[in-house]
């Protein structure tokens, strides 16, 4: 996912920084990273959501000691009497909350059109 954002940054910007007096690494840090910041933000939201909601591996590995929320939710909701819909809805809302808060906090760093205007044509 980050590759697409890195590809957006023209290689000439890196080269300009190198001619201006920076090594490849410094040029990366000073020029490329600030420009892919929106990409980093988008990727981190995506990654966070993915791992937060991840069920399969969590179920396999954490049923005993460090149960994740989705795994625990399934455990308390599935009873012999059927699915406890009330608990399920409440639990799902609670599980969604951290993701919503995280995205809301991070969104103001998603600045669009940052790279527009630096290159002609």
Partner 1 sequence: MNIRLDHVSKSFGNVEAVKDVSLSIEDGDFFTLLGPSGCGKTTILRMIAGLEKPDQGKIYIGSLLVNELEPKDRDVGLVFQSYALYPHMSVFQNLAFPLEARGCSRDLIKRKVLETAQLLQIAELLSRKPKQLSGGQQQRVALGRAIVKDAKAFLMDEPLSNLDAKLRIKMRGELKRLQKDLGITTVYVTHDQEEAMTMSDRVTILNRGVIQQISKPIDAYINPVNKWVAGFIGSPAMNFFSCHVKLAGETSFMVVNELGGLQIPYDPKTLSKKLVDGYPLTLGVRPEHMTVTDKPNGLISKARIYVIEPTGEYTIIEIIIENKVYSMKIGTALSYHMGEEIMITFDIHKIYIFDSETGLNLVRR
* Residue ranges in contact with partner 1 by CB under 8 A: 10, 12-13, 15-23, 26, 31, 34-35, 113-121
2 versus 94: smaller Cβ distance to partner 1:
2
User: Cβ of residue 17: shortest distance to partner 1, in angstroms?
Assistant: 7
User: Cβ of residue 32: shortest distance to partner 1, in angstroms?
Assistant: 10
User: Cβ of residue 40: shortest distance to partner 1, in angstroms?
Assistant: 14
Please state, in angstroms and as integers, the Cα–Cα distance from residue 74 to each residue in 5, 16, 33, 51, 80, following that order. Answer: 37, 54, 40, 17, 13
13 versus 95: smaller Cβ distance to partner 1:
13
23 versus 63: smaller Cβ distance to partner 1:
23
User: Cβ of residue 19: shortest distance to partner 1, in angstroms?
Assistant: 4
Decide if 45 contacts 100 (C-beta within 8 A). Answer: no
DSSP bridge pairs for 83? 78
Q: For the chain, how big is the Rg over CA atoms in Å? A: 22
Alpha carbon distance 109, 117 (integer Å) = 19
Alpha carbon distance 94, 97 (integer Å) = 5
11 versus 60: smaller Cβ distance to partner 1:
11
């Amino acid at each position: 996912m980050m590759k697409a954002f890195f590809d957006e940054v023209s290689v000439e910007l890196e080269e300009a920084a190198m001619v201006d007096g920076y090594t490849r690494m410094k040029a990366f840090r000073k020029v490329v990273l600030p420009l892919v910041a929106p990409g980093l933000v988008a990727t981190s939201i995506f990654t966070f959501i993915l791992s937060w909601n991840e069920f399969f591996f969590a179920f396999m590995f954490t049923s005993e000691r460090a149960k994740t929320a989705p795994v625990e939710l399934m455990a308390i909701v599935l009873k012999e009497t059927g699915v406890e819909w009330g608990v399920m809805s409440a639990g799902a809302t609670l599980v969604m909350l951290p993701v919503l808060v995280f995205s809301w906090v991070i969104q103001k760093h998603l600045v669009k059109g940052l790279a527009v205007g630096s290159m002609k044509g």
